[in-house]
Amino acid sequence: MTSEQQAVRTFYSKSAAFTCWATSPKRVFDDAGMSKVLDGKQINFTPQADGFGRFVTDDPEMIAYLDQRMKEVGDIFDGAEYQRRTTPPDVRIAQQERELTENNRLIEQLRRENAELQGGEKSRRK
């Protein structure tokens, strides 16, 4: 990856077909009087079945703009926040309960291992 390349990032929007500009576009008129947009980096979110919009990019300017918008405006968010918003509360609670059970099991395992290690040290001191 060069210094200008970034990992591919996925962003989500509250609006299914949200469109914005990462860089300011220039509007010019041709000889026939038709307007054209030049040089702007347009971001078009793709509508998802759940009503949110999705946009994937590795463009550093677009990523920087969307990261800033996430912080300042809040209508754009990352995958973790998207999962939180789209996962029903009862499913999230069940996931948290499973994680808590697993964490408690690991704590008990560490306590047993620690007790065994301390018991081994005491027997060597005698």
CA distance 6 to 12: 18
From the list 64, 69, 61, the residue with the least C-alpha distance to 25 is 61
- Between the CA of residue 105 and those of 32, 38, 86, 108, what are the distances in Å? 73, 59, 29, 5
Q: Which one, of 67, 12, 62, lies nearest residue 42 by Cα?
A: 62
Position 4 confidence tier, pLDDT thresholds 50, 70, 90: low
Q: What percent of the chain has pLDDT over 90?
A: 61
The Cα 69–Cα 16 span in angstroms is 16
For residues 79 and 91, state if they share a domain: no
Provide mean pLDDT across the span 98-102: 95
- pLDDT at res. 126: 60
What gap in Å lies between CA 54 and CA 81, rounded to an integer? 13
Phi then psi for residue 70, to 5 deg, are -55, -45
What is the number of domains present in the chain? 2
81 and 91 together in one domain? no
Residues 54 and 5 in one domain: yes
Same domain, 64 and 105: no
